[in-house]
Structure 1
Amino acid sequence: MQPSELIPERFRDGAQRMAAALRGVDRVVVAAHVNPDGDAVGAMAAAGHILRALDREFFLYVTPRVPQDLSFLPLPGTAHTTLERLPFTPRWALLLDCGEPRRLGQELADRLPELESLNIDHHLGGDGMGSAGNWVEPQAAATAQLMAYVALAAGLPLEGGLATAVTLGLVTDTGGFRHGNTSADVLRLAAHLVEKGSDLAGVREKLDSNWSQARMHLWGELMRRAELRRGGTVAFCPVRLDDLRATGALKEDLEGFVEQLRQLRGVRAAALLREDAPGCCKFSLRSCGTVDVRAAAAALDGGGHRNAAGGTLRMGMPEAEETLLNALARELDSEGL
């Protein structure tokens, strides 16, 4: 199989459009959503490798920072956490794994009208926010998967740092190839990456064996607190401001906890509600099979995918808990579950 044949037919037009578009950009800020996960960081790194191969000037913008548990990924340049003291004044923005300006962070959202922009994403909920071009593919498992196809459409080999970046995105957004988005296309791409030297097992090891003691203590406390609702079909756990302070953990240490709740026997949907500040709570939802937690999130002005979604509730914890669980119950009721 030729490398270009790895691009599924339904993705070829978009990959070719984006590859051609990237040849016409320069002085680019590459960014994804705030508090980036593995797919966001992997997609940004992959984009940087592509732009470097195309001899384009770029820098990565990450807010508030690259999470500590993802810091093992070699980046193709400095990850700037502010738009002050930049190496150049950007003219373009490449926006990844994000469907709306406010999810980029206020600093970049305010600058966005001054820039030409391209948007590549795999989330449901819109046609993209790029002023010069968009490629939004909800059928893709990860934005890093789409970046791999852009690289192939540009005639670039998936090897070295580019391959590792794509591997990280695939592993994290498929839950280690366990989620329902683990398609044959994803497995073919993963096999090609391994054939080209990507250390898939090494990426999994760095992700799975990189816990701090603070994270262990936080998870232990939350495991004791988690409870079942709605006859055992919903698992729920609140995370209060004091929990992070008491254990010395970071917000990023919560990554993956809601997936653990979903693994409880009989649970169809899991919900984690994190108090970010007085009167402001973030929620994460996970489900399995046909249960559509994105619909529940959308009812609360959130978004995501069918089996993984989230959002923000600007209210105190007691009200946020009731609001979130009611929205989740309504969705499960509508599905007859």
Structure 2
Amino acid sequence: MSGNGRPASLAELHDTVSRIAGNVERVLVGKPDVVRIALVTLLAEGHLLVEDVPGVGKTSLAKALARSIDCTVSRVQFTPDLLPSDVTGVSIYNRQTGGFEFRPGPVFANIVVGDEINRASPKTQSALLECMEEHQVTVDTSTYQLDSPFMVIATQNPIEMEGTYALPEAQRDRFTARVSIGYPDPQAELAMVDEHSGHNPLADLRPVSDADTVRRLIHTTRMVHMAPEVRQYAVEIASATRQVPEIRLGASPRATLQLVRAARAQAALSGREYVVPDDLHSVAVPVLAHRLVLTTEAHAARRSATDLVHAVLHRVPVPQANGQARR
């Protein structure tokens, strides 16, 4: 794994990502689509929110992805009494030197696993805002840069309200994608029982890549070509969410950027050097749905954010290779 900083080829990207996916799927059985979105988020150098009911493998997904890459990893168990300094770090007075020394917190890692993020207070949740957006931490007027790659993988239970604090819109908007794992099908659950009942597959998981390689893969992903009409299509999709009557708060410009980055990652995973509209369709729901704030009428009609994203994709004309658009 070369450290010379040259971009990786698409063949190397596909080989490396396939090995990471195989590693993760040893732990999360029967969920290839969930693993794909996690890898898209990694290549887009974004952050992943895993939101689902207890016991379906949220933390296992986060741990498996982290252990598949030989880089610095930290885990934060979010609780109501957790303080912002427990996440970012704190300055401690050193009697020998007569000055303050900064002790980095767990956020100073390549991959940060935040378990049950909605159990922390809004003040502590806000400690991640600067980290996730600017890849830096400011403590006592001093700013410290975070190493690349930097990825936050957070989990939360969407149905339990006791002792939890809902993520504010500003926090949700910083997550590139959200995935819901869901229950496995009977065959996958049977395979899990056979393989996992007497043994934890996480214990045997070994890294199949490293931080330097991931940096090169991210650089390669950024170089994937996106034609002007496809970029325009991404903007039109995001803009359309702001005009739907059932949506009170549509996708932000940050969401548009993340949609473009995720589409490039999806194209790279597919072995293409260019983005097609289908790439935007593949990532639109994971990237956009969790950012939308629906109206009371939409909730009353039992319309979900996922339904509304699909409706937007159906409504916005798809660009064609000849410059024409189809509906």
Q: Please, what TM-score do these two structures have when normalized by structure 1?
A: 0.28
Choose between structure 1 and 2 for higher RCO, CA contacts under 8 A separated by at least 6 residues. 2
Q: Please, what TM-score do these two structures have when normalized by structure 2?
A: 0.28
